[in-house]
Each structure stands twice: as structure tokens, then as C-alpha cells.
Amino acid sequence: MVDVVSTLRAAHAQLIAQNPVTVTVVRSDRQDDGAGGWIEQTRSWTVELRLVPEHTQPTIQTNEAGVIGLTGWSFYAPWDADIQEDDEFTTDSGRRFNVIRVEPRSFNGLVYAVNGSAQEVT
């Protein structure tokens, strides 16, 4: 069983290596300050993953600011990547993304990949 997971992890690593992007993941957590409020703490680290557009055209939304285009992206990250919903990440070229879904992939309870969706912030 471990051989199967090792093979799946290696295949997923090859998928990422075909077109890797290094991103800086940022996570903000609120910690109780002991006085009825909170303190926001921000942590960051880098992850190498692969980004693939979900559609060829952006989704158009209208809000108070007017019409905006949202581009959805799928990401493929290593099995041990620490990425959660609501995290943000930025590529080396400065493109920013919000993580909207994370799907760890597993075989017999052992994770071999972390996939998900993100929206580009424009």
C-alpha cells in the first residue's frame, strides 16, 4: 500500500514539475487577547505548486464597485503542502490569489496530493 502512495506522490510531483510556480502563502489568524478582543497574526511561507486556469474566460460579477472579472484557477500542490481555504498566495511575478477550496487526495487514508481552487485577485 505504501508503494502505491509513493508512486502516486511521485506522479503528482512530476505533474507539478512540468510547470512549477513558487508562491508565498499568507495566513491570518485571530488570537484571543485575553481582554475581550483579538490580535491578528499573519504567517507566511513558500510552496511550489502548479496553476492551471479553470476557464478560458473570466466570470463576470457586479458589485457596489461595478463590473469585475474573476478568473478561477486550479492548483496542484505537494502532498504535505500547508494550504487551507481562505489562505492567500502571491506568485513571484506578483499575481495574487485567494484559496476558495482545498481537496486533499488520498489512497487508503494516506494523502498523496493537495489540489484546490483559487480566484485571482485583480
Instruction: Return d(Cα 9, Cα 80) in angstroms, integer.
Output: 10
Length of the chain: 122
Average model confidence (pLDDT) for the chain? Answer: 90
Is 66 inside a domain boundary?
yes
Q: Find all residues with CB under 8 Å of 6, minimum gap 6, and list them.
A: none
Is 59 inside a domain boundary?
yes
pLDDT given at position 32: 83
Closest CA to 16 of 81, 70, 72, 107: 81
| pLDDT at position 16 over 80 | yes
Is 35 inside a domain boundary?
no
| pLDDT at position 46 over 70 | yes
Q: How confident is the model at residue 115 (pLDDT cuts 50, 70, 90)?
A: very high
The CATH number for 10's domain is 2.40.10
Is 45 inside a domain boundary?
yes
Mapped onto helix, strand or coil, the DSSP state of residue 1 is: coil
Is 48 inside a domain boundary?
yes
Is 34 inside a domain boundary?
no
pLDDT given at position 68: 62
| pLDDT at position 57 over 70 | no
Q: What is the domain range of residue 98?
A: 2-29+40-121
* Residues of the chain above pLDDT 90, percent: 70
Instruction: Return d(Cα 8, Cα 113) in angstroms, integer.
Output: 8
pLDDT given at position 36: 84
Task: Count how many domains the chain has.
Answer: 1
